[in-house]
Structure 1
Amino acid sequence: MLGDDTVRDRLWRKAGQQRGYFTAAQAMGAGYSYQAQHFHVQRRNWIRVDRGIYRFREYQDLPSFDTDNLVRWFLWSKEKAIASHVTALTVHDLGTANPAEVHLTVPPGFRQKDPALVLHRAPLRADEIERHEGFRVTTPVRAIVECAVVGVDQDVLDSAVAEALGRGMSSSRRLLHAAQELGPRAELAVERAIRAELS
């Protein structure tokens, strides 16, 4: 019953949509004072992940996913950062990309930084973004063309295009149109990848 909802229940429900992560502001919204938050961190009920970002301890014992860290960065950015470029290719399981760093697209005026991240500043349209559990990511088509525009290795691009076409995630025409919107460099690289797939 909703009337029996505890403070922990409210926060647990919210964190459950975010792979166990939550912010200090979300904890406050659920009813935890800053003093109570400090207590739970001290008792190791909550694991401090970053400034103002925590995770329920129980999630350490649950199976993890490769994308768990993207939830953390989404919260770190105050829900402004979108997983993109080669990171988005790995989310969509496209091609051979295996990035050492996390690539995120943020709004042009975004000021936060972290050495673990490669930040790309660009506006994104709603139809270029997909929502996943606890984070957002650029669509397969956008991920491919934004990789093309920054000069990702052609072999990586070729493999991503081949899989996107093979799995029916896009058509050649749609990929080329999206690449044209980002300029000649993206268009040429995507054209090459499509030719490699068709040859």
Structure 2
Amino acid sequence: MSAEPPLKPDWDQLYRVAEAQEGHFTTQQAAQAGYSPQLLAHYVRIGRASRIQRGIYRLVHFPAGEHEDLVAVWLWSEQMGTFSHQTALALYDLSDVLPARIHLTLPEAWKTRRLRVPKLVVLHFADLLDSERQWVGAVRVTTPSRTLDDCARGALTPDLMRQAALQALHRGMVRGSLPTVEEALKPFGGLNA
């Protein structure tokens, strides 16, 4: 793909980008497909696209996606964020956790950035290895093992932590022992209490 945007708007290119992101795209992605800010504003006015938040849009007639709220947050993070903690547990359907907030891990370097964090988003900062992340649908999520470690270090209740770890082991999502989880659960009777 060339660095120069096309001379005229390329709807097919914009659609392909949005299709991979549950119908969402950024102002920058639109520009790469040849859409000026003025043309994008026109598409919003005529109802072909809707503005989700600053710099993030959605194709109006694109079918609703399962994780649209997460895609918008991921695009807000400039595609650098990885969903983690309780959000990752919910995406993997591990335990009965129903997170009221979206947990997103950003690179450590983002700690110094002044961010206008979207409502209901909790930020964590860590330089994740590629081996600690994977795709779940249209979003990047910490692996089950990393997710369990993060939750064990966080504020997840012992019952939900135990349930998540046992489900992950039973379903073969993690292998071997879970030392961080076992240590966190030691005061509460251990993993198999």
TM-score tier (shorter)? 0.7 to 0.9
Spell out, residue by residue over 1:109-161, the C-alpha distance to the aligned partner (whole angstroms, 9 max, x if none).
32322332100111111110002333210001111110010131111101101
In structure 2, C-alpha distance between the alignment counterparts of 1:11 and 1:139, rounded to whole Å:
30
- Residues 190 and 126 of structure 1: CA distance in aligned 2, closer, same or farther (over 3 Å): farther
- In 1: Cα distance, 2:56 partner to 2:134 partner: 23
Aligned to 1:182: none
Query: Matched residue pairs, number?
Result: 182
Find the aligned partners of 1:30 and 1:141 in 2 and give their Cα distance.
38
Aligned pairs (5 A) from 1:9-28: 9-28=12-31
1:39–1:156 CA distance, 2 compared to 1 (3 A): same
Name the one with the larger helix percent.
1
1:154 aligns with 2:155: no
Secondary structure at 1:118 match in 2: strand
SS of residue matched to 2:69: helix
Which of 167, 170, 177 does residue 166 from structure 1 map onto? 170
SS at match of 1:156: helix
The residue aligned with 1:100 is: 100
Q: Mark the runs of 5 or more structure 2 residues left unpaired by the alignment.
A: 1-7
For residue 84 of structure 1, what is the amino acid of its counterpart? S
1:57 matched to 2:56? The reply is no
What fraction of aligned residue pairs are identical, expressed as a percent?
36
Which consecutive residues of structure 1, in runs of 5 or more, have no partner in the other structure?
180-185
Provide the rounded CA distance (Å) in 2 between the counterparts of 1:192 and 1:143: 21
Match of 1:142 in 2: 146
Alignment of 1:60-75 (within 5 A): 62-65=63-66, 67-75=67-75
Q: Distance in 2 between matches of 1:193 and 1:90?
A: 23
* Inter-partner Cα distance in structure 2 for 1:172 and 1:194: 20
- Distance in 2, matches of 1:129 and 1:170, equals 14
Q: Residues 125 and 115 of structure 1: is their aligned pair in 2 closer, same or farther, counting only changes over 3 Å? A: same
Which residue of 32, 40, 43 maps to 2:43? 40
Q: Deviations over 1:25-71 (max 9, x none)?
A: 10110111111111001112101001010000012xx3431x22111
Note the C-alpha offset of 1:196.
3.7
CA contact (8 A) 1:140 1:169 kept: yes
- Judge conservation of contact 1:18–1:134 (CA < 8 Å) in 2: yes
In the superposition, relative to structure 1, how do residues 20 and 192 fare at CA in structure 2: closer, same or farther (>3 Å)? farther
| Cα distance in 2, alignment partners of residues 190 and 141 from structure 1 | 16
1:193 and 1:54 map into 2 onto residues whose CA distance is 46
8 Å Cα contact 2:92-2:144 kept in structure 1: yes
Q: Distance in 1 between matches of 2:12 and 2:25?
A: 13
The match for 1:87 is 87
Displacement of 1:94 = 0.5
Distance 2:144 2:188 in 1: 15
CA contact (8 A) 1:161 1:194 kept: no
